Amino acid sequence: MRILSILPFIILLTACSAISTKAPPAANTAPPSVMINQARTLHQQEQWHEALALLNEGVKQYPEALQIAELRSEIMRDWEIRKRNKEDWILVQETRALQHKIPYLEELAVIDPNNYITKSRLLFWKNLLESKVAGLIACGSVHLHLDQLLAEACTTLAEQIKPTQESKHLLGKIEQAHAEQKRTERTQQAVQKKRNTAQQRERLLQQAVQEKRNTAQQRERLLLQARSQLADDAIADSIVSLKRLLELVPEDEEGKALLEQVTRLRDKRVMKLIVYGDALYRDQQIEQAVVVWESAEKLDMGRQDVAARLERATKILERLQEIRENP
């Protein structure tokens, strides 16, 4: 039985011996540049120990590679700062917890004034709370330019527990840092606002240039279209195109001149059609006169004299139709 009872210990010792005699992992024989990149990747992933172990090996293999030693110092410094940051936040939370507990113990001491154990606990906790002041002041000093939120938390707690010249001085520095930060933010906002205004002005300028370019292109298209329509004897369509051009560019001299030219040509053409239609009407060729006057109306829809002629001729034709249907 005794042999059986010590058997597990023998097995455990054997396993430990096997582990201790296991061959160490092969050293990283990568070139310095590769080793540095690997260490930076590990650093970004917050695998601090692995990054430092790799760089320690690199320093041994490449003692002349200053970049490896510099990166190791940088990562070690960063690691120490991060650890100090976490430890000081723990200090803040522990101090706040203790600070919140003491009032309850004070109330208990009032309720039970003859309980010396309670009084001893209260005295111990108060002394423990005061003992945190030095660490809190150190926290405020260290993190003043690294983590203002943590620095303010530490210094404010120290001031609440036991006001000192150091805590007062640190709080003043923190207030100055806040004021400087606000000034910097206002300056950055002003710079950003100025930049946004300049960018908006530039966008508006570009938009105006683009609109001007589009207007010029559209104006050229309408002018070419009007000339082409005039060449095809589409006088009414040419006038429509020129009016659209002048709506787009009211002071376009070339458009105005061409519109006057086409309008005179239209008026002359309309007058000839009216005269010819009148001649046909007098010769009692009323249907032919209506066709001619309708051609004149298509050229100038606003002519009241043409509309009056068409109305009169239409009534005559309707009367003649009635006569034919009712002899």
pLDDT digit string, tens, across residues 95-109: 999 999 999 999 999
pTM of the model: 0.52
Residue 88 lies inside a defined structural domain of this protein: yes
Residue 211 lies inside a defined structural domain of this protein: no
Residue 108 burial by Cβ neighbours in a 10 Å radius (0-12, 13-18, 19+)? middle
Residue 180 lies inside a defined structural domain of this protein: no
What is the per-residue pLDDT for 26? 45
What is the per-residue pLDDT for 27? 52
3-state secondary structure the chain: CHHHHHHHHHHHHHHHHHHHCCCCCCCCCCCHHHHHHHHHHHHHCCCHHHHHHHHHHHHHHCCCCHHHHHHHHHHHHHHHHHHHHHHHHHHHHHHHHHHHHHHHHHHHHHHCCCCHHHHHHHHHHHHHHHHHHHHHHHHHHHCCCCCHHHHHHHHHHHHHHCCCHHHHHHHHHHHHHHHHHHHHHHHHHHHHHHHHHHHHHHHHHHHHHHHHHHHHHHHHHHHHHHHHHHHCCCHHHHHHHHHHHHHHCCCCHHHHHHHHHHHHHHHHHHHHHHHHHHHHHHCCCHHHHHHHHHHHHHHCCCCHHHHHHHHHHHHHHHHHHHHHHCC
Residue 72 lies inside a defined structural domain of this protein: yes
pLDDT by residue (tens digit) across 262-272?
Answer: 999 988 989 99
Domain closes at, from 141, 163, 185 = 163
Residue 220 lies inside a defined structural domain of this protein: no
Domain extent, residue 278, equals 263-321
User: What total number of domains does the chain contain?
Assistant: 2
Please indicate, yes or no, whether residues 158 and 268 belong to a single structural domain of this protein: no
Residue 223 lies inside a defined structural domain of this protein: no
What is the per-residue pLDDT for 28? 56
| Positions of the chain with pLDDT under 50 | 1-13, 15-26
Residue 9 lies inside a defined structural domain of this protein: no
What is the per-residue pLDDT for 58? 87
What is the per-residue pLDDT for 146? 86
What is the per-residue pLDDT for 21? 40
What is the per-residue pLDDT for 120? 92
Domain closes at, from 146, 163, 180 = 163
What is the per-residue pLDDT for 107? 93
What is the per-residue pLDDT for 97? 94
Please indicate, yes or no, whether residues 31 and 147 belong to a single structural domain of this protein: yes
What is the per-residue pLDDT for 208? 92
What is the per-residue pLDDT for 1? 38
Domain closes at, from 163, 185, 210 = 163
